[in-house]
Structure 1
Amino acid sequence: MYHDNVISIILGGGQGSRLYPLTESRSKPAVPIAGKYRLVDIPISNCINSEIKRMFVLTQFNSASLNKHIKNTYHFSFFSQAFVDVLAAEQTMSNNTWFQGTADAVRQSMHHFLNHEFEYALILSGDQLYQMDFNKLLDAHRESNAEITIATLPVKEKEATSFGILKTDENNIITSFIEKPDASLLPDWTSQVSDEMKAQGRNHLASMGIYVFNRDLLIKLMSNPDTNDFGKEIIPQSIDKHKTLSYQFEGYWTDIGNIDSFFEANLGLTDEIPQFDLFNNKNRIYTRARMLPTTKISGTTLNKAVIAEGCIINASKIEHSVIGIRSRIGHETTIINTYMMGSDSYQTFDEVTSSSKIPTGIGERCFIKNAIIDKNCRIGNDVRINGGTTTKDTETDTYVVRDGIIVIKKGATIPHGTVI
C-alpha cells in the first residue's frame, strides 16, 4: 500500500464557463451530481478507496461552497494522518497572480505539499466521473521505474480529436504526444490496445489528465516558471527527457466538460445497468452524511428514476430522471429526462401552503422535459419547460438554454403558468 508515501493533488479546474450557469455561484468541483453528491466527491472517494488519505483540492473560483462541503464531509480520526485540504489561489509577497493553468496551480501551492513527506504525487482532475484503484496505477509506475505515469483511455477515432493523444512502445513507454490532433493525422497515432478495445474500434490512447510524478522530478519541473499547463506543456516537453509510462484504463470514464456531458452523465445513472456503478461495496462514493428522512411518494408512476432521500413526491409521472435531496413535486406533474438537484433545506408547512410566495420545488400540473433544475428553485403551478434540439441557445435572468437543455438557475423563481 502507498498511503504513507503518496499525496494526492486534485485540480479544481478554471472558471467552469462551459458548465455555466451551474458554476455561476460555485466552483466546478462543488457542482451537485447524482442527486446527493458533489463532483469533488468522486476523486476523493477514489483516493479513500485506494487508501490514499492525504489530499489537497486546488481551486480559485467561488470556493466558499466547496470549502463548506469538504469541511462538513471529510472528518478523519483525530489520531490519523488523513486530511482533505482546500487550497485557494493566494497572493503572496513573491506572487500576486491567479493560477494560470494546471501546472501553475501546482507550482503556486508547492510550499504546502513540501511540508509533507511523500515519494509520489498523484495529480487528479476535479471534474471527471470514474472509479479507479490508484494502487494499480502506482504499482505500474513503480515496477517500470517511470518518472511520470499518465493514465490513458483507449478512444475511438471520432473522439480522439478532442483529447491529448499519445503513442507508446511495446513496454507502454510513451514515445510521442499530440494535443487534440486533426482527424487527418489520426491513422499515424494508433497504439497497442487490448483485443476487447480493438473490437470496439478504440485504437487511440487519450490522456485522462491523471498523472503520477516522482517527488524530485515534480520539484524540478515546477521550478521552471514558464510552463503553466500539464497537458499542453509539461507532458509534451517531458516525454523525451523523462521515462513516461502509459497506464491503460478500460473502465467507464467521462469528463464533465460541458452542460451536455453533465446532463448525459447524470441521466446515465437511471440505466438498468449504469456504467457508473453507485451500488458497489468496494468502490463507495462518499459524501456528506445528512441524516435525512426517507422519501415519500404518492400516486406516481416511476420509470428509470433515481430518487435521493428526503423527498416528498406527488407527481403523476417521473421518467428517465434524477431527483435530488429534499425535492418537493406537486400533484399531476410530469417529469421526463430531467435532473432536479433538490434543496438545501425544508420549508415549514405554513411556508409551503402560503399564497404569497411560490414554495421551493415544483408545483402542480407542470410538464418538465430535457431540463436541469438547479438547487432551491421555485417552480409554480401549470409551468411547461420543454427543451429539445429545436430550442435555441439563450439566457435570461432565471434560465439558460444550452444544446437543447433548459437549465433553471440556482434559486430562480418561475411564476405560475410560465412556458419555456
Structure 2
Amino acid sequence: MPKISESTLSLILAGGKGERLMPLTIDRAKPAVPIGGNYRIIDFTLNNCVNSHIRRIYLLTQFKSQSLDRHVRSGWNMFSDRSYGFVETLPPQQRVSEDWYRGTADAVWQNVYSIKREKMPYTLILSGDHIYKMDYSEMFRQHLENNADLTVATIEEPIANASSFGIIEVDTQGRIIGFEEKPANPKCIPGDPDHSLVSMGIYLFNTETLLETLNMEFGGEKELVNKKVLFEKLKEDAGAYTRFTTGDFGYDIISNMVRINNSLLANGSSMKYNVFSYNFRDENRKMAKYWRDVGTIKSYWESNMDLKTPEPELNLYKRHNFNEDISGWPLRSYKNPFLPPAKFVFSPVVSSSLICDGVIICNATVRDSVISTCVNVQSNSIISDSILFDNVRVGQNCKLNRVIIDKDAIIGDNQQIGFNADEDLARGFTVIDGITVVPRGTRIGETYRGFNVQTVII
C-alpha cells in the first residue's frame, strides 16, 4: 500500500478575498487573518497536512497575498531539502489563461503544470480558510480500500443550516449518488430527518482522474458563466453541463462526475467514476465535531472567544487529556524566538484570557480576551471580550468592550470603544453585530502615556 507521504500532493486554495471579514481583510487574504493570538487561519490546514505526513504542499494564492507569503516563508520553511518536502505559494501564473482564478477548479486547472511536474499519483484539494483538525491519512486509507477515483470528506450539518453547503447523497456503501450545491431544500440523511450530509470542500483525487476531469471542464469549448446562469440553463436542459461551466469543484467537477455515472447507469452501463464519501473523524476529540468557516466578523469573534473558556470547543493544546502521549496533535505557526515572556506589572487583573509573548499589562484589567504578541496595556484600563492583534498599544484609563483592534494601532489615553455604536462609526470604525473593529494602524486620542499619539513609535 502506498504511503501518503510519498504519493500525495496537496493543493490548498488560499486566495479568498474574505469580503465579509472586512476591514480585517483590507490588507491581507482571509487565510492570513490572525486567530487565537499566535496563529493564522491557514495554520490549521497546514498543520493537518504535516500531522498527516503530507510533505508536498502548494498554496494557491491570489488576492493581497504578501502577508500570507511572509507568514509561510517565516513559519513553514521546515524542509531543508525540497526533494524531501516543501511548503510553497503559487500565485496566478497565467500558464493556461490570461485571467485570475475564476473558481476553485479553475485555480487548480491554471496550475496543471505544477501538478504534472510533481508526478504524484494522488492529489488532495483543500480549503485554506477553515478551522478544524483532521488526519488526512485516514481518508487516504479509505480511498485506497474503495479503489476510488475521488473521495469527498463530509460532515453532518443541521438541516436548517445545510442550504449553505454542497449536499451529498450516498448509498449504503458510502458511494456518492447525488450532489447538489447549496439547494434551497436540502435532503436529509436517511433515517436522520434533522441533519444533512454536507461537503467539507476536501477532495482526494487520483491525479489521473483530476487531470481528466479538469481537461473535460476547461480544455474544450465550454463557456464560463456564473452559478445563477448555469442553474437556469440546467432547469431548461439537463445536458447544459456539457456546454457551460462555473469553474467550481462543487457546481461542476463533482456534480458532473455524478451526472455521468447516473446517466451510464440509466442506460444499463457501468459507472465511469468511483466517487465515495469519507465521514469526517475529528482529531479535536470533543463530543461535537469541530469544523468552522469563520466567514463573518461575528463568527470570527465567537471562535476567538471560545478559545479562552475553561473547556473550549477547539483544543489548541497538544494533549487531548492527561492520559495521552504529550505529542498529541501539535499546532505549529510562526513564532518570533526573540520575544520575551509576557509581563504583568504592579497589580493587574487578568482572567479567562489568552496572553501571548512580549505582552506588557501594567496595572490594568483584562477579562475574556485574546491579547496577541507585543501588546502593551497601560494603567487603569479595562479590556473585556476583545481581540487585540500584534503591537497594539492601549493608553491609560481606557475602556474597551467587544472590540477587535488590528495590528499596530495606538489607542490614546482616556478612550472608550465598544460602548456607543454611533460614536464608533463616527470615528471611522466598523460596527457589526455589536462588535467594533478598529482598522490597522489607527491612532486615536491626543496622548499616549503623556506623549503625542501621532509621534509615538511602535
TM score, norm. by length of structure 1: 0.87
Q: Say whether 1:208 aligns with 2:200.
A: yes
Deviations 1:58-79 (A, max 9, x none): 1111111111111111223434
Q: Say whether 1:234 aligns with 2:253.
A: yes
Q: Is the 8 A contact 2:405 2:439 kept in 1?
A: yes
Please name the residue that 2:443 is paired with. 413
Please name the residue that 2:267 is paired with. none
How much has 1:392 moved relative to structure 2? 7.1
Please name the residue that 1:346 is paired with. none
- Structure 1's 105 and 285: CA in aligned 2 closer, same or farther, altered over 3 A? same
How much has 1:202 moved relative to structure 2? 5.6
Q: Return the match for 1:326 from 374, 386, 391.
A: 374
Please name the residue that 1:28 is paired with. 30
How much has 1:416 moved relative to structure 2? 4.5
Please name the residue that 1:134 is paired with. 136
- Structure 1's 393 and 175: CA in aligned 2 closer, same or farther, altered over 3 A? farther
How much has 1:112 moved relative to structure 2? 1.2
Task: Give the RMSD, CA atoms, in angstroms.
Answer: 2.2
CA distance in 2: counterparts of 1:397 and 1:85, whole angstroms: 40
AA aligned to 1:364 is: Q
Deviations 1:203-255 (A, max 9, x none): 21111111111101110111122441112222211224322211111531101
Q: Is the 8 A contact 1:57 1:87 kept in 2?
A: yes
Aligned residues: 389
CA distance in 2: counterparts of 1:264 and 1:2, whole angstroms: 35
- Structure 1's 202 and 212: CA in aligned 2 closer, same or farther, altered over 3 A? farther
Q: What stretches of structure 2 of length at least 5 have no aligned partner?
A: 223-244, 262-272, 282-288, 319-326, 449-458
Please name the residue that 1:168 is paired with. 170
Deviations 1:140-174 (A, max 9, x none): 11111221111111011221121111111111111
- Structure 1's 309 and 192: CA in aligned 2 closer, same or farther, altered over 3 A? farther
Q: Is the 8 A contact 2:418 2:424 kept in 1?
A: no
Please name the residue that 2:304 is paired with. 266
CA distance in 2: counterparts of 1:205 and 1:401, whole angstroms: 34
CA distance in 1: counterparts of 2:352 and 2:413, whole angstroms: 24
Q: Say whether 1:91 aligns with 2:123.
A: no
Q: Say whether 1:288 aligns with 2:334.
A: yes
AA aligned to 2:444 is: I
- Structure 1's 192 and 274: CA in aligned 2 closer, same or farther, altered over 3 A? farther
- Structure 1's 325 and 398: CA in aligned 2 closer, same or farther, altered over 3 A? farther
**Equivalences for 1:247-396 in 2 at 5 Å?**
247-249=278-280, 251-280=289-318, 281-291=327-337, 292-298=339-345, 299-314=347-362, 316-343=364-391, 360-386=392-418, 391=421
Please name the residue that 1:243 is paired with. 274
Q: Is the 8 A contact 1:103 1:230 kept in 2?
A: yes
1:246 aligned counterpart, secondary structure: strand
Q: Is the 8 A contact 1:55 1:84 kept in 2?
A: yes
Please name the residue that 1:355 is paired with. none
Please name the residue that 1:219 is paired with. 211
Q: Is the 8 A contact 1:393 1:403 kept in 2?
A: no
How much has 1:29 moved relative to structure 2? 1.4
How much has 1:22 moved relative to structure 2? 0.9
How much has 1:398 moved relative to structure 2? 4.6
Q: Is the 8 A contact 2:409 2:443 kept in 1?
A: yes
How much has 1:383 moved relative to structure 2? 1.0
Q: Say whether 1:76 aligns with 2:78.
A: yes
AA aligned to 1:406 is: T
- Structure 1's 266 and 31: CA in aligned 2 closer, same or farther, altered over 3 A? same
AA aligned to 1:171 is: Q
How much has 1:90 moved relative to structure 2? 2.3
Please name the residue that 2:48 is paired with. 46
1:99 aligned counterpart, secondary structure: coil
CA distance in 2: counterparts of 1:127 and 1:267, whole angstroms: 18
CA distance in 1: counterparts of 2:423 and 2:431, whole angstroms: 5
Please name the residue that 1:357 is paired with. none
AA aligned to 2:201 is: G
CA distance in 1: counterparts of 2:108 and 2:38, whole angstroms: 29
- Structure 1's 177 and 315: CA in aligned 2 closer, same or farther, altered over 3 A? farther
1:277 aligned counterpart, secondary structure: coil
CA distance in 2: counterparts of 1:204 and 1:393, whole angstroms: 43
AA aligned to 2:248 is: D
Deviations 1:388-417 (A, max 9, x none): 8xx479967752122221111111112259
Q: Is the 8 A contact 1:393 1:404 kept in 2?
A: no
CA distance in 1: counterparts of 2:358 and 2:336, whole angstroms: 10
Q: Is the 8 A contact 2:38 2:335 kept in 1?
A: no
Please name the residue that 2:242 is paired with. none
Q: Is the 8 A contact 1:129 1:276 kept in 2?
A: no
CA distance in 1: counterparts of 2:214 and 2:426, whole angstroms: 43
Please name the residue that 1:190 is paired with. 188
AA aligned to 2:117 is: N
How high is the sequence identity, in percent, across the aligned residues? Answer: 34
Single out whichever of 153-162 and 53-62 deviates more from structure 2: 153-162
- Structure 1's 150 and 297: CA in aligned 2 closer, same or farther, altered over 3 A? same
CA distance in 2: counterparts of 1:77 and 1:316, whole angstroms: 43
1:4 aligned counterpart, secondary structure: helix
AA aligned to 1:244 is: V
Q: What stretches of structure 1 of length at least 5 have no aligned partner?
A: 344-359
CA distance in 2: counterparts of 1:274 and 1:39, whole angstroms: 17
Q: Is the 8 A contact 2:16 2:31 kept in 1?
A: no
- Structure 1's 191 and 309: CA in aligned 2 closer, same or farther, altered over 3 A? same
Q: Larger radius of gyration, structure 1 or 2? A: 2
CA distance in 2: counterparts of 1:148 and 1:395, whole angstroms: 49
Q: Is the 8 A contact 2:342 2:360 kept in 1?
A: yes
1:178 aligned counterpart, secondary structure: strand
Deviations 1:340-394 (A, max 9, x none): 1122xxxxxxxxxxxxxxxx51111111111111111111111111168xx4799
- Structure 1's 175 and 409: CA in aligned 2 closer, same or farther, altered over 3 A? same
